[in-house]
A and B are shown apart, each in its own frame.
Chain A
Amino acid sequence: MKNKLFYGIAAFGFSLALAGCEGWLESEPNYLLTNEVTMEDVDGVRAVMVGVYDLLQSTGYYGRDFIVSPELLADNCRITDNNSNRFIGQSLNQVGSHNAIWATAYNGINRVNNVLAFVDDAAGGSQTEKDELKGQAFFVRALLYHDLARSYSREPNHLVNGFDLCVPLLLVPFPGITSPDAFPSRATVAVVYEQIEKDLTQAIDLLASSSFDPNYGNILAAKSLLARVYLYEEKWSQAAAMAEEVINDSRTPALVTGENYMTCFSATPGAESIFELRFTENESEGPNSLTSIYMQVGAGYADVCLTDDLMQKFGASFGQDTTFADARAQAFQITSKSGENVVYNTKYASYNGVYGSDNVAILRTSEVYLTSAEANLMAGNTALALQRYNALHTRAGYEAATSLAIEDVLLERRLELAFEGHRFYDLKRKGWDIPKSFKFEYLPVGLEYRDFRMVANIAPDEIELNENLDQNPGY
């Protein structure tokens, strides 16, 4: 009897072995979804689009670096004597220190390409919803490509030695490593700008019937970005027309008054924001935030302060108490750090109350005014240029100007958009040298326009991995 029982157990054991039991090898994670399942309905596609905005918020991109580096690469900001060793390379225009957004931007482009590839066939959702998602995707793709283009190549009218390669143009989801498209080469500047215009035009069409929400890609954002892109291309009349279209749109936030200037940054959304990345309370970047690098508050780094030159441009008079003539000096924190007198800016001061969670305005009304002023001036329409220029100039507390030179517009742009990530790119697109005169006489004194360091290098690893990529000249 007993023996039979044991033989039975033995037989059971071996039958398990022989059964093969394919089902015993199935495992499904509870925190991952396969690509197919993710993209099968509109809810999934929308969540991927949410992931794209989340990516734009990274510290390496609009969360901090892409805003701060252009100020340090140019003449607006410098590093304090006592510092945390961040952005030193950018402040000294060292070889290889630039805006390294390549990987983040292409990560975003691949996600956006997924949205565009799958949204039409996704289950559920109305055509309006799908159009809105597509419109946002086209807008963000244009933004990413333009940011890449202005970082990794020269502008169309300002090529140096005829080097006209821009960045690889990828318009479909990653096709797998066996595909030849997995190792793309660089498209020319003209081709990339053409694609950016095309994406924005499609975005404008698709977003026409959606409501205006500055926290997401929207029609005004697409138009404002297109105006900016035309400015980089020096298509003056198209830039002027597009900027005016935005300014005259009733949905566009009006310019705030001088005394309410800070509401552009402190309000949620910012009082002039056309496109703004919103950081909720639980998206604090903490010590890696803009607040931390730009201001002396809490346990922040407080490494980036105004250059003396910029302070003077703001009408600083140095004395017992430094004072500024410009109304926009409301945004300054005058203090000292380890015995050094410094001035910080407070455009990103964690206004929503949680340290390190600053909303980041990427497109705002003032920029569109300045685009209009510059484009109209260059196109010969001085009256309108003066009108748009003076709207900002008088708001800052100055007398209205009666004549206008391009340097005036760029200075106004420098002051108005200071610390917002424009200065270096504005000088670069104009083909101007970068002047730098810092308080230490032995620091290097800026960059000539033709210097190779004006353009970022493609990371050596990337060149290593993709032999079809050409490096920028000089690197």
Chain B
Amino acid sequence: MRKLTSLLLFLLFLGAQSAMAQDLKITGKVTDDAGEPLPGATVVAKGAAGVGTVTDFDGKYSLTVPSTVTDLQFSFVGLSTQVVAIGGRSVIDVVLTQGVDIEEVVVLGYGSVRSRDVTGAVARVGSEALEGRPIQSVDNALQGRAAGVQVTASSGAPGAAVQVRVRGTGSIFAGTDPLYIIDGVQVTIGDQTQMNTSQNALASLNPEDIESIEVLKDASTASIYGAQAANGVVIITTKRGSSGKTEFSFTATNGFAYNIRDMPILTGDQLTELSVEAFRNSYGVNSPVYKTRIRSLLGRGFLTTEDGSENTPITGYTAPNSDWKDAIFRNGRIQTYQLSAAGGTDKTRFYLSGSYTYNEGPVMETDFQRATTRINLSHTINDRVTIDFSSDLSTMFGNTVTEDATYANPYNSALGLLPTDSIQFYDGSYNRELSGGFTFNVVEVNKNNIQRYNQNRAIPSFSLNVKIAEGLSFRSTYGLDYLEIREDMFWDPRHGDGEGPNGVVAMGNTRVLNWQTNQVLSYNKLFGQKHDFSAIAGFEYRFNLTDYGYASAQALPTYKLQTLFAAAEPTNAYQYNQDWRLMGIFGRVNYSYDGKYLVSATVRRDASSRFGANNRFGVFPAASAAWRVSAEPFMQWASAYLNDWKLKVGYGWTGNSSIRPYRERSFFTGGSEYGNAAGFAPSTLGDPDLTWETNQSLNVGTSFELLTGRIRGEVNYYHNYTPDLLLPRPLPATSGYDNIWSNIGEMLNKGWEFQVNVGVFAMANFRWDIDANFTSNYNEVVSLVTPENDDEWIYMEDEPPLGATETDYYLRWAHEGDPIGTIRSRDWAGVNPADGRPMWYDQNGEITYSPLPADRIWTGYYTDPRYFGGFGNNFTLFKNLEVNVFFQYAFGHYKYNANSQLFGDYTYRGGQFNQYLTQYTERWMEPGDNTYVPKVYTGVSGYLNNTNSVAAMFPSTRDIEKADHLRLKNIMVSYALPTDWVKRVKFSSVKVFAQATNLYTWTTYTGWDPEIIGPDWGVYPQTKNLTFGIKTSF
């Protein structure tokens, strides 16, 4: 009751300090088991981070703790940590002994180390960043949380794929995603669907089940994963039970999803006015063409003239104004329910959970559902043998709409459909006679068409641990990741894409089977108190089979039957599969002297079926060392506030083998056809010397802990160089082939990472913690095909927008000397203030009105951020009320705003598409106007380079915009109900919370959202979420 009063008071007098809690002063002495005093031992108040001290030269300490603190924690390097209950005492003496360590550990490959003994670069994200968040997938949760880890949502669609890059983009054409490992199983990630535009296999994991996520960023930590580790490794560990009373936990959240922003477009009147102006500019007011136009607009009632005929001046605009955006966007819903039970006996421990998530997107007909169950069991058979079992079973359903550059894409159509066309008639039927360039009534089309997937997945793993002798143990793990995706597509025969073929149905089936086992021997021993030695050696095998099936047919008797069975004409059917195998042996040795000098060395030898017989085996070594400067006698003077200071350096190689299999031999493939006979076509020109990319990675860093953990931080510098990029080396077309995959090309990523946690205030009733990280990454495509040529470039795959010739829109390139994703475009020179014509610079730097493809320049604008990171503020009041404010940011990059080229070019489109409002407000109207929107024109004149007309707009630097942004990613307010209340209803805790995601973004970018991957064309906008929830334990 008292706390509630305090809370109310606090809320009433916000910011006023309350001093109601009593503080307690505790003193004592810390010694080792020989009775020697331990100077520099850490004493921390449990549950009040930041409240703590270190012992003096005599092992003595004095600490004032809030009365709410019940336990003190004592720790010292190399000795086991102890937690002692205060129990009302004011003097507490403690003896620290050798023994089982309960210090925070970091999961590294095939084992773990104490976090303070890490010699490489590892980022850790704990469950607190995941619990209760409205995130669909675990990879989303990493955004802005870890230095060096850049997370970009590829789409705002519910359940859409997420792009994760560890220390920059490491490859151009081979994989760039890290290796994901869930409870020891290397899992399939990314979009595995065939027909849906965005799906994320990893979204099958319930984020609430996760205990921690570790990201291995450098070679010294990751090279134990050899040929799969070049892009980093993400190790996900799920929760496990501990012996004791069974604890149930139930979480429910509920909320809304909104479109992240509104895009202002023209009203019917404004569009009509522009169209009249365009005809006037093109033909003149006395021309028959202009008069015909006015007559037609008069007939449709879009405008009025003085005497109602086309011969007198216009007096006003009276066009209809349909709100397509309103019809397409909506307020989505989010619901999550999760129940878990954790507990066990001395012998058997369990964590069981089940969850259900429903996420309705803010765009019509898009949603995502997931149901999961998890069984994690551990059983101790005897003092030598334990067994672990983990299993994740999940199902996901998603309804999606096309994100391609098509007329059926609702978010683009929402902007481009003409406001002068009605959406629906009074009888409820939809308008199918649209007069603009977007010919589909997307509201009806998306209502009736179907594009959906169902992914079912199981990730079971079993492992056996045998303690063979003191310090020597053996672990044998068997894991399986099986996922199956069934997709359905239906195009209604009554409209849209389905109208021509009279209805289309298609079905896709994808199965990914992934089996693996590893056998690991590990040994660790402490020799003579100070020589800590550990080693592992192991073997691993992984087999991956992906099987694709697809069938489609057209001509349906009615829209009411939507199965292949009902269709008259089969159009396509295929099945094929791809497999790859990987086998490796590996070992690691760690040695530490007195916790002061630490060295670690790993080596892995891998063999992959994806590479040529000549180059199938590869060796990936790494070594690292660290020096705990703070443990040196000469640093003793600082021990009172410098608790830990470590310098570290590591160098090693990791491999990238993620290319599609079967590139090492020359093949013919089927699928061609002539006169009902099946044919063969050459598909691949193989290179028998093909092998993995090698990431040669250097990491230099330091980590520190000040003021008993009040300030903790880490700084790393990295330099990752890949000398043998797997690239499709372009061949002259005379060869009959497009390319041959070869190990050519070099790439560099280097940068700085900073991560700091500060306990700004650590008082009993008010705590303020800041958690911030910053990364600067510099990427350079050092060389491509031939080392001697310095100005080579290569296309990266992107979808060209509607009606564009391909080469105009290949906007992301790898160009020597520039960062990956550099944009090549025409150079915009503005609108000529004298006559309103758009101008560009040609290749000689002269003004041109009809730029050619050859006039495109290397703009120096690139699409990956140069600087990124995040920072969070966590406020705790009276231990019950917690406020978390988290920002995420990315700077120093550009995006091609293709929407603004399409919806910012009245002249070229001639009024076929609705336009951005700026087309009206900013347009050139009279000589002297300085603007970026040219004089409007219509018709074929838009194409011509004629002094009387305005040339069409081309993709140019006009529409390349800075994508810098700072985003208020998450605000969470949670309140834990007072324990005495909760106890009364037999609960152990009840917490209510409210949070907002993507609440506000500071950016100058004018499109939907700067967080996109390719050109801004047809991408599902990000969403803004508002959710409320309750979490109870009992």
Contacts and interface: CB of A to CB of B under 8 A. Distances in A.
| A, B from the same assembly | yes
Interface of A: 2-3, 6-7, 9-10, 13-14, 16-17, 21, 24-27, 29-35, 38, 44, 47-55, 57, 79, 81-82, 84-85, 88, 92, 95-96, 102-103, 106-111, 114, 168, 170, 174, 177, 182-184, 215-216, 278, 280-283, 286, 298-299, 339, 355, 440, 442-443, 459-462, 465-466, 469
A50 B680 contact: yes
B683 interface: yes
Nearest to A49: B679
A29 B466 contact: no
A6 B469 CA distance: 13
Given A57-B674, A168-B734, A466-B732, A32 B667 contact: yes
A51 B680 contact: yes
B541 A54 contact: no
Contacts of A25: 581, 583, 607-609, 616
A38 B583 contact: no
Contact of A16 (B541, B543, B675, B734): B541
A32 to B, nearest CB: 4
A459 B474 CA distance: 62
Interface residues of B, number: 80
Given A10-B476, A51-B681, A183-B732, A16 B539 contact: yes
B585 A17 contact: yes
B539 A14 contact: yes
B737 interface: yes
Interface string B8-42: 00000000000000000000000000000000000
B734 A14 contact: no
Contacts of B949: 442
B787 interface: no
A202 to B, nearest CB: 21
A442 B385 contact: no
Nearest to A170: B734
Nearest to B577: A30
Interface in B934-984: 939-941, 943-944, 946, 948-949
Given A24-B541, A460-B854, A54 B668 contact: no
A473 B729 CA distance: 28
B735 A174 contact: yes
B464 A9 contact: yes
B662 interface: yes
A50 B662 contact: no
Contacts of B539: 13-14, 16-17
A280 B673 CA distance: 9
Contacts of B308: none
A110 B731 CA distance: 13
Given A106-B733, A174-B735, A29 B681 contact: no
18 contacts: A10-B476, A10-B521, A17-B539, A24-B541, A25-B616, A29-B577, A33-B680, A34-B668, A48-B679, A50-B680, A53-B675, A55-B672, A95-B852, A106-B733, A110-B735, A177-B740, A459-B733, A461-B730
B733 to A, nearest CB: 4
A114 to B, nearest CB: 8
Nearest to B792: A464
Nearest to B740: A177
Contacts of B670: 31, 47
A13 B519 contact: yes
B579 interface: yes
B917 to A, nearest CB: 25
B576 A107 contact: no
Contacts of A459: 733
Interface-centre pick from B667, B940, B943, B946 (highest chain A CB count, 10 A): B940
A416 to B, nearest CB: 27
B100 interface: no
Contacts of A48: 668, 679-681
Contacts of B685: 174
A23 B292 CA distance: 77
Given A14-B519, A31-B576, A174-B736, 17 more contacts: A9-B476, A10-B519, A13-B476, A17-B538, A25-B581, A27-B662, A44-B668, A48-B680, A49-B679, A50-B672, A50-B673, A50-B677, A51-B681, A53-B675, A82-B910, A109-B736, A442-B948
Interface in B652-706: 661-662, 665-670, 672-685
Contact of B681 (A10, A55, A216, A299): A55
B803 interface: yes
B891 interface: no
B680 A182 contact: no
Contact of A184 (B682, B734, B941): B734
Most buried by B among A88, A111, A183, A281: A111
Nearest to A25: B609
Interface string B584-607: 010000000000000000000001
A278 B944 contact: no
B668 A35 contact: yes
A103 B733 contact: yes
B302 interface: no
A379 B248 CA distance: 101
Given A54-B672, A461-B730, A106 B736 contact: yes
A29 B578 contact: yes
Contacts of A110: 682, 735-737
A48 B667 CA distance: 12
A96 B679 contact: no
